[in-house]
């Protein structure tokens, strides 16, 4: 038989290569100290790990994040390899004078764009450029039940200009279900009032279905989450959870919190779109500004 490589087979080979290379996905967490950022990271990904640099440690002793730190992990979701970079940031707004406390975070995001652009301008076209651009920034909101702090508005504005921002209500086990609903509405109204443009965006070429999907996500934001690095026993089964005054919270139970929605959103339904939006909207706008500045 003649050895003949058909089109199908080539397509399959390319697909195979892509799947083998997997997705590179970079997530950043931002918010005040103590809101559970480091805990959530561990809750989201610890159980999926097959290989990691920088181990996840449960919070046996107090720990504080003092600088922007990146951890790389490889997880497998539905047979797809996900190369995950998690960028943990120190809490901002902890000082008396908070002027510019967000600068290092915004700079970090821009630095990744800048590094990518430099590679793009110098690398041969077909060479693979490692992607460290932040695809999603999870913004942690203090579960006060009242409203956002003025500093949150300032930081959210700065972030939304350079990255996909997804707000979450931290430690939502401290709110009742009713409090959660009204807090969400108040937060979203305030974001809208301040014209903060959150992910997902409705760009022109979307299908009707995608627009509806985006609307569903927007109606859910901010995700009310609970994180935990410990296991508790519920109905004789070990689950990730927390014990509090009222009983046991099972982090993975959607009647208790929206952790599962957030995880599905990040690792399944919006993974690819978060990556594409970063490249097509945020990076593209950075790039055109830089190239324009070069010409002047």
Q: Which residues bind Mg ion (CB under 5 A)?
A: 37-38, 65
> Is residue 173 involved in binding ligand GDP (CB under 6 A)?
yes
Nearest distance from C-beta of residue 248 to Mg ion, angstroms: 24
**Which partner, ligand GDP, Mg ion, none, binds residue 241 by CB below 5 to 8 Å per kind?**
none
- Segment lying near ligand GDP (by CB under 6 A), choices 71-79, 128-136, 169-177, 181-189: 169-177
**Sheet with strand 80-88: strands edge to edge:** 49-53, 69-77, 80-88, 23-30, 136-141, 165-169, 223-224
What are the φ/ψ torsions at residue 114 (nearest 5 degrees)? -65, -40
Tokens of 278: 């970063």
Q: Least distance to ligand GDP from the beta carbon of 47, Å?
A: 16
- Residue 37 in contact with ligand GDP, rule: CB under 6 A: yes
Answer with the entry of ligand GDP, Mg ion, none that 227 interacts with (C-beta below 5 to 8 A by kind).
Answer: ligand GDP
Q: How far is the CB of 226 from ligand GDP (least distance, A)?
A: 4
Nearer to ligand GDP by Cβ, of 38 and 214: the residue is: 38
Please state the separation of Cα 164 from the chain's center in Å.
8
CB of 236 to Mg ion, least distance (A): 33
> Is the CB of residue 144 less than 8 Å from the CB of residue 164?
no
What binding mask, one character per residue, do residues 241-270 give for ligand GDP by CB under 6 A, x or -?
A: -x----------------------------
**Of 44, 226, 266, 275, which lies in the binding site for ligand GDP, with binding defined by CB under 6 A?**
226
CA distances from 74 to 44, 45, 71, 196 (A): 13, 10, 10, 33
**Which 95-134 residues touch ligand GDP, going by CB under 6 A?**
none
Residue 224: phi and psi, rounded to 5, are: -90, 110
190's CB contacts (< 8 A; 6+ apart) are 147, 148, 153
Q: Closest separation between CB of residue 171 and ligand GDP, Å?
A: 4
- Integer CA distances (angstroms), 94 to 41, 72, 91, 98, 115, in order: 21, 27, 7, 7, 30
Output b/e per residue, 57-80; b: 16+ Cβ within 10 A: eeeeeeeeeeeeeebebebebeee
143 binds, among ligand GDP, Mg ion, none (CB under 5 to 8 A by kind): none
Among Mg ion, ligand GDP, none, the one that 114 touches (CB under a kind-dependent 5 to 8 A) is none
Closest CA to 153 of 105, 194, 183: 194
Positions touching ligand GDP (CB under 6 A) are 33-39, 59, 65, 91, 171, 173-174, 226-227, 242
């Amino acid at each position: 038989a003649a050895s003949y490589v058909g089109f199908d087979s080539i397509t399959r080979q390319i697909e195979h290569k892509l799947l083998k290379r997997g997705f590179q996905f970079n997530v950043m967490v931002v918010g005040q100290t103590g809101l559970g950022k480091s805990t959530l990271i561990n809750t989201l990904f610890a159980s999926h790990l097959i290989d990691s640099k920088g181990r996840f440690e449960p919070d046996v002793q107090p720990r504080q994040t003092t600088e922007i730190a990146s951890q790389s992990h490889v997880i497998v979701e539905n047979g797809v390899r996900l190369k995950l970079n998690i960028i943990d940031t120190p809490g901002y707004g902890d000082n008396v004078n908070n002027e510019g406390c967000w600068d290092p975070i915004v700079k970090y995001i821009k630095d990744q764009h800048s590094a990518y652009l430099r590679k793009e301008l110098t690398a041969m076209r077909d060479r693979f450029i490692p992607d460290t651009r932040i695809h999603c920034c999870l913004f942690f909101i203090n579960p006060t039940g009242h409203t956002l702090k003025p500093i949150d508005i300032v930081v959210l504005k700065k972030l939304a200009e350079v990255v996909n921002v997804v707000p979450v209500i931290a430690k939502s086990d401290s709110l009742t279900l009713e409090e959660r609903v009204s807090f969400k509405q108040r937060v979203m109204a305030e974001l809208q009032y301040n014209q903060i443009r959150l992910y997902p965006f409705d760009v022109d070429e979307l299908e009707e279905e995608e627009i509806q999907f985006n609307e569903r996500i927007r109606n859910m934001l901010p995700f009310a989450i609970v994180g935990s690095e410990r296991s508790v026993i519920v109905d004789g089964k070990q689950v990730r959870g927390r014990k509090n005054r009222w009983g046991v919270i099972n982090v993975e139970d959607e009647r208790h919190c929206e952790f599962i929605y957030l995880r599905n959103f990040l690792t399944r339904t919006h993974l690819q779109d978060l990556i594409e939006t970063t490249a097509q909207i945020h990076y593209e706008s950075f790039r055109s500004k830089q190239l324009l500045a070069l010409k002047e």
